Amino acid sequence: MTIEIKPLPNTIGVEVLGLDLSKDIDSDTADRLYTAWQSAGIMLFRSIGTTPERQLNLSRVFGELEVHPIENIRLEDYPELIWLANKDATSAPLYYYDDVPTVSRIPWHSDLVYTTTPNRGALLRMVDMPAQGGQTGWIDTAAAYEALDNETKKLIEDKEGLFQFILNPCDMRFGRMNVKRDDNSNKTNEANFYPDFPDIAHPLVWTHPETGKKSLAVSPLHLRSMVGNENAEADALLNKLVDHATSGEFTYIHQWQPNDMVLWDNWRTMHCALGHPPELKRMVHRTTIKGSHAFGRVLK
């Protein structure tokens, strides 16, 4: 199969052109896709994710897929696919960002950084796109690390961050926006819906087990403190690192079109959902590529 892989304009990541998912992906094409993913970290497939089967077939090029532990968000007959959506104005918590009502906004994070073994990556497909908002963003944390000055690199090379499972952006300590939650919206008991995750320590610098590239592991949604240095000086350093990573210099914001798919390497990126007005609907399907490498450790 003849495909073209080209950089996304003025940003990070690459776009894949010419991939025909109505046909089997041959081994040479699969190898080329995987190599390009390792190099770029983020890959766009424009408008070709027309069925769950095609999303699954493409996803399997990049590794073994996880079956999500929460059964009620699995797509019927496709256990490796989950749906993520707000179906109406009451199905997701309502937040006010700078006094603007917003649902489905998820701040910058790396998946499962609140565990010892983050997943390898994921492939997201747009199924039902809102007329306003709904964008997704990615940060190349390898590029963010490379752009640090040598003094800062040396300062953080042996430092660890403490990470916790955080759902409510109002509880963020670093990189928090002007946000308030409407406590009258979506009264689901979130504490009982999710498992109880222990505190996790991760190095602030991850070394990619396949490429050897170093990246900045800060995940602002879940970052709580510097391990062993819970003081104002350490917090100032973490704020500096978060501000650096999220400055926009290393960011790609995707303006979705129907059936677009974006793949990311969770070992070298962060991502966010920018949210949308509460009266609009949005639906995406996601596959998750299983992680096999432990970056962190459980804190007793």
Look up the pTM and report it.
Answer: 0.95
Taking 70 as the threshold, does the pLDDT of residue 155 lie above it?
Answer: yes
Ranges of beta strands (E only) in the chain are 4-7, 14-17, 42-45, 74-75, 78-86, 94-97, 100-109, 121-128, 136-140, 160-163, 179-182, 200-203, 205-207, 214-216, 223-226, 251-254, 261-265, 269-276, 282-289, 297-298
> What pLDDT score does 293 carry?
96
Mean pLDDT within 159-184? 95
Contact, 185 vs 93, CB < 8 A? Answer: yes
Kindly list the domain boundaries of the chain, sorted by start residue. Answer: 4-298
pLDDT at residue 246, as a whole number: 98
**What is the per-residue pLDDT across 78-129, written as a single tens digit (0 to 9) for each?**
999 999 988 655 568 899 999 999 999 999 999 999 999 999 999 999 999 9
Q: Which two tokens stand for residue 81?
A: 């696919």
Is a pLDDT exceeding 80 seen at residue 23?
A: yes
- Mean pLDDT score across all residues of the chain: 94
Residue 187: predicted pLDDT: 53
Of the candidate ranges 12-16, 40-44, 121-125, 190-194, the one whose mean pLDDT is the lowest:
190-194
Q: How many CA atoms lie within 13 A of 83 on its CB side?
A: 16
- Write down the pLDDT at residue 88: 57
Percent of the chain residues topping a pLDDT of 70: 95
The CATH superfamily label for domain 4-298 reads Clavaminate synthase-like (3.60.130.10)
Predicted confidence (pLDDT) per residue in 24-65, tens digit = 999 999 999 999 999 999 999 999 999 999 999 999 999 999
pLDDT surpassing 70 at residue 249: yes
